[in-house]
Structure 1
Amino acid sequence: SGLLSLPEVADLVATCEVLQDPGANASLVRLLSGPRWRIGPRDLALLGRRARLLVARDRGEDDPERRLAAAVEGTDPAEVISLADALDTFLESSLDGSDDGLPFSPQARVRFARLAAELRDLRRSLADPLMDVLHRVLAVTGLEVELSASPQALAARRRETLHNFLDVAASFAATATAEEGRATLLAFLGFLRTAQQYEKGLDNALPGGENTVKVLTAHKSKGLEWDVVVVPGLVTGTFPDGKGQERWTAHGKVLPHALRGDAGTLPDVGEWDAAGLKAFHADMKDHHATEELRLGYVTFTRPRSLLLGSGHWWGPTQKTRRGPSAFLRALHDHCAAGYGETEVWADEPEPGEENPALAEDAVEQAWPLPLDREALRRR
């Protein structure tokens, strides 16, 4: 999650990982299967086969004694299968496939050779300062051009995201230079892995951005945080949640309350008999209902000026009707008292009425919207 999970940043980081580590196979697959190189599963599998052949040739697997010794000794880090090494072989191999006999597609051979040449050129600059390396990667790979080719609003958001990432890199470079004398790409990638593991992928570095729509959960809400807040899905069983929390007395995967840091706020089992467990179950239901009310309170006090709520009777595929939840009914009553407006309030369906979305003549709307093929071709 966070900044590192956004596509424009993830592609840049993947390129840097491939440059620094020939064994970064997952990152290389991301690049090869992405919109720029568009390598299919068949050619990716063949590339993996070529990489395995390289390792087998280097360690002489035709010799039974060597195979036995390798099995006893374990894996040498130098013998790990590297897709990047296999990619480099396309710089010397013929494009017609006469050298290896593997049935790569002609387009894949050309693209493999182009990417290998690009990566080899970029590796020559790894000794440069960190920010110079990152800007060179952006220029050579065309990531900046791809951002500019995006629709205007999307391009602005992606540029802002990329600038936030470069700000993080610049801050790291300044700190590392002050402490150690120099910031390297290797050290920066280590910093990013730590951030991915312990800081939710640089969650705090996500772009704020004015005039943008934020998709957020109701958790960690703050009062009067946004001018306008939209809360969809206020239907029975969804918000407030009607399922309740799993009880540790019934599910082995749930941590007992006594071992939790918030044990003082949680119900406890008074007596270990049928009556005590029944009382505990009732207390858990009450506790869950209170937690849902608290979550609803922080959600509905989040906007500074406008709160929009919505619900529905029918979901897209449900045969059982849902209807407004207690929260949506409370908002409706609040508006009816003169403190807001109700634009639409659908009448309750008749008993036995079926979901109109499941009717044979219902028109199915594609979502997400299909990609613009012409725009995709230009990329």
Structure 2
Amino acid sequence: GLAGPDLTAIVNSARRRNRSLWDVLEELETQPGILRIAPATRAAATKLVADLRAYVELAHERPAGEVLYAFLRGTGLLTRLAAAETAAAEEALQNMARFFDIVRAQSALLADDRAIFVARHLQTLVEAGDDPPTADLDPDVDAVSVLTVHKAKGLEFPVVFLPGLVSDRFPMRSRPDTLGLPLALVKETLPDGDFQLQEERRLFYVAMTRARDELILSHAADYGGARARRVSPFVLEALDLPIAASMPGSGARATRPVERLATFGQPAVPAAAAPDDLDEPLTLSFYAIDDYLTCPLKFKYGHVLRVPVAPHHALIYGSALHKAVQEFHRLEARGQVMTEAQLFEAFSRAWSNEGFLSRDHEEARLESGRAALRRFREQQLAPGAVVPTYVERDFSFSLDGNRVRGRWDRVDVEPLAGEPTVGGGEAASPHADVVTPTLPLMGRERVTITDYKSSDVRDPVRARQRARDSLQLQIYAMGYEALTGRLPDAVQLHFLDSGLVGRAEVDRNRLEKARGRIAQAAAGMRARDYTPRPEFLSCSYCPFREICPSSVAR
């Protein structure tokens, strides 16, 4: 890399000739004799210039999120962090994911989401005092969390250390003056005395109450200054100690020479303890369960560490179709018919230009989406078409002590005139732990749950097979049973690109198999078993294949 005497020579050359560092780095490639540096340094400088040129060019054309992900992947940082099984690496990945969320959220507010505009916008937020939190702390991670008192608000830990509790540090001696407020605008009674001191006393109380089992208050007489330091008056107040206890060195003993020398020794590295199994109930979704059953390491990257992934055109396309269909059904439920132009407008509003291979590729997918929506609208307006009873309805139920959550795209409830139901009716043995009927039943009825898919399936046999084998649809059926006391009659997949519908009657044997697969995934998650299961097909579609050390599809 660029370091040591060679880097000093490059910086001095730029300063001496009144040139920018970038100019000198470029000259190292075009004029090799301008500086005598090591071959390794010259190669590193050449790579740095090439990388920066590539990212600048990419930043002119692609959104900020894509540029950021390309940088993280191109530098190998994501790969190194994913391969390092340490708490620090996991925290870094979680903070990256948090930053990606911020970039995407702020990009959506701007007319132009390229990096130069997003960076300026984020800088403005920072200057205005915006301080977004880092990733949420995992209380089960075997690591020490170092936090400010403000960042620790709302959190609790078994053991808390409060260091540096001496006068002029906590509380601080010099505090900036607050912005004065005209007395005419003050409605409440102002506190007597030093308001800033009272505020720091409240912060000290917040810090102490973060501990559940044990609180350690520490201070030192010597912080490198000319005089010894007194114990913080807040400690005296908390422990009800006399003022004499604040004298420097109170309660302390002199450190022996042998103890001082021992502080320079190599600290012992404790053996890594195996993580305990999770005891609390898990919150499960189909996607988490499916990812774990496909590959536990994929589940860890996506749901535990939340490793950022590059935007993919298939996800953008599917999400936009989904939102347009959702808007159509919501207006339909209010008795309004959405025009084709309105449907296309809803599709455009949900569209994002991230992840596509080229502008031509994006235009082709836009046209495919409009064609799919045109076909969908014609099907929904055809004579005899059913208006859905529920659209985008959330559900949750308890299964084997865990909480399973999901969302139905569409539920059709059709009243029947004396005909027996096929797959539904009262369930002799409910699959959920508790059945809490919250959705109304309408007597004799036929219930069908539909999930919309953007994949292009054109074979009716394959469409029916996918519906029968869908773990997602089995979970949806269990959710309906938990909320009504009866199973739906049928489940189906509606493939929007082709207009084909794959339908399957609800079968109790398939539900039992699905319950076993859910239990298998939950047991592995609870044991924190993230052993990879590399297979070429699953690795080929995995968004983490470029950084996963176990991938067989790179």
Range into which the TM-score falls when normalised by the shorter chain: 0.5 to 0.7
CA distance, structure 1, for counterparts of residue 250 and residue 174 of structure 2: 32
The alpha-carbon deviation at position 186 of structure 1 amounts to 1.2
Residue matched to 1:207: 135
CA distance, structure 1, for counterparts of residue 64 and residue 155 of structure 2: 37
Deviations 1:74-130 (A, max 9, x none): xxxxxxx43223322333333xxxx32x33333322211121222233334231233
The alpha-carbon deviation at position 161 of structure 1 amounts to 1.0
CA distance, structure 1, for counterparts of residue 53 and residue 98 of structure 2: 28
Residue matched to 1:46: 10
Is contact 1:232-1:311 (8 Å) kept? yes
Q: Which runs of 5+ in 2 are unaligned?
A: 242-248, 270-554
The answer to whether structure 1 residue 356 and structure 2 residue 287 are counterparts is no
CA distance, structure 1, for counterparts of residue 151 and residue 259 of structure 2: 43
In the superposition, relative to structure 1, how do residues 299 and 128 fare at CA in structure 2: closer, same or farther (>3 Å)? Answer: closer
The answer to whether structure 1 residue 123 and structure 2 residue 72 are counterparts is no
CA distance, structure 1, for counterparts of residue 11 and residue 229 of structure 2: 51
Counterpart among 29, 39, 42 of residue 109 in structure 1: 42
In the superposition, relative to structure 1, how do residues 326 and 86 fare at CA in structure 2: closer, same or farther (>3 Å)? Answer: closer
In the superposition, relative to structure 1, how do residues 289 and 367 fare at CA in structure 2: closer, same or farther (>3 Å)? Answer: farther
Equivalent position amino acid for 1:43 in 2? L
The alpha-carbon deviation at position 131 of structure 1 amounts to 2.6
In the superposition, relative to structure 1, how do residues 168 and 368 fare at CA in structure 2: closer, same or farther (>3 Å)? Answer: farther
Residue matched to 2:82: 148
Which structure would you say has the larger RCO, counting Cα contacts within 8 Å and 6 or more residues apart? 1
Residue matched to 1:172: 106
Deviations 1:29-49 (A, max 9, x none): xxxxxxxx2423652442452
Q: Normalized against structure 2, the TM-score is what?
A: 0.38
Residue matched to 1:25: none
Larger Rg: 2
CA distance, structure 2, for counterparts of residue 156 and residue 266 of structure 1: 45
The alpha-carbon deviation at position 227 of structure 1 amounts to 4.1
CA distance, structure 2, for counterparts of residue 289 and residue 135 of structure 1: 45
CA distance, structure 2, for counterparts of residue 170 and residue 52 of structure 1: 42
Equivalent position amino acid for 2:43 in 1? V
Is contact 1:245-1:288 (8 Å) kept? no
CA distance, structure 1, for counterparts of residue 238 and residue 258 of structure 2: 35
Equivalent position amino acid for 1:206 in 2? T
CA distance, structure 1, for counterparts of residue 28 and residue 105 of structure 2: 38
The answer to whether structure 1 residue 137 and structure 2 residue 56 are counterparts is no
Residue matched to 1:93: 31
Is contact 2:160-2:214 (8 Å) kept? yes
Q: Secondary structure at the match of 2:103?
A: helix
Is contact 1:165-1:205 (8 Å) kept? no
Deviations 1:247-285 (A, max 9, x none): xxxxxxx75x8x623987477xxxxxxxxxxxxxxx65x
Counterpart among 117, 128, 151 of residue 187 in structure 1: 117
CA distance, structure 2, for counterparts of residue 91 and residue 190 of structure 1: 31
Counterpart among 298, 311, 317 of residue 206 in structure 2: 298
Residue matched to 1:9: none
In the superposition, relative to structure 1, how do residues 42 and 367 fare at CA in structure 2: closer, same or farther (>3 Å)? Answer: farther
Question: How many correspondences in the alignment?
Answer: 253
Is contact 1:43-1:105 (8 Å) kept? no
The root-mean-square deviation of aligned C-alpha atoms, in Å, is 4.3
In the superposition, relative to structure 1, how do residues 300 and 239 fare at CA in structure 2: closer, same or farther (>3 Å)? Answer: farther
Matches within 5 A, 1:152-301: 152-176=86-110, 180=111, 182-200=112-130, 203-211=131-139, 213-219=144-150, 222=153, 225-228=155-158, 230-233=160-163, 235=165, 237=167, 241=171, 244-245=173-174, 260-261=180-181, 265=190, 290-301=198-209
Deviations 1:36-79 (A, max 9, x none): x24236524424525874x7xxxxxxxxxxxxxxxxxxxxxxxx
Q: Secondary structure at the match of 2:136?
A: coil
In the superposition, relative to structure 1, how do residues 90 and 207 fare at CA in structure 2: closer, same or farther (>3 Å)? Answer: same
Equivalent position amino acid for 2:52 in 1? L
Percent identity between the aligned chains? 22
Is contact 1:47-1:83 (8 Å) kept? yes
Residue matched to 2:386: none
Residue matched to 2:215: 308
CA distance, structure 2, for counterparts of residue 193 and residue 125 of structure 1: 21
CA distance, structure 2, for counterparts of residue 368 and residue 326 of structure 1: 36
In the superposition, relative to structure 1, how do residues 45 and 216 fare at CA in structure 2: closer, same or farther (>3 Å)? Answer: same
CA distance, structure 2, for counterparts of residue 368 and residue 295 of structure 1: 36
CA distance, structure 2, for counterparts of residue 368 and residue 38 of structure 1: 29
Q: Which runs of 5+ in 1 are unaligned?
A: 1-36, 56-80, 247-253, 268-282, 335-345, 372-379
In the superposition, relative to structure 1, how do residues 360 and 121 fare at CA in structure 2: closer, same or farther (>3 Å)? Answer: same
Q: Secondary structure at the match of 1:206?
A: coil
CA distance, structure 1, for counterparts of residue 182 and residue 163 of structure 2: 29
Q: Which has the higher strand share?
A: 2
CA distance, structure 1, for counterparts of residue 90 and residue 151 of structure 2: 27
Is contact 1:229-1:306 (8 Å) kept? yes
Is contact 2:149-2:206 (8 Å) kept? yes
Equivalent position amino acid for 1:308 in 2? L
Deviations 1:193-227 (A, max 9, x none): 21332235xx22411131354433335875x6424
CA distance, structure 2, for counterparts of residue 157 and residue 38 of structure 1: 27
Is contact 1:237-1:325 (8 Å) kept? yes
Is contact 2:82-2:89 (8 Å) kept? yes
Equivalent position amino acid for 1:199 in 2? G
In the superposition, relative to structure 1, how do residues 45 and 238 fare at CA in structure 2: closer, same or farther (>3 Å)? Answer: same
Q: Normalized against structure 1, the TM-score is what?
A: 0.52
Equivalent position amino acid for 1:39 in 2? A
CA distance, structure 2, for counterparts of residue 45 and residue 329 of structure 1: 56
Q: Which has the higher helix share?
A: 1
Is contact 2:14-2:20 (8 Å) kept? no
CA distance, structure 2, for counterparts of residue 348 and residue 123 of structure 1: 60
CA distance, structure 2, for counterparts of residue 122 and residue 365 of structure 1: 46
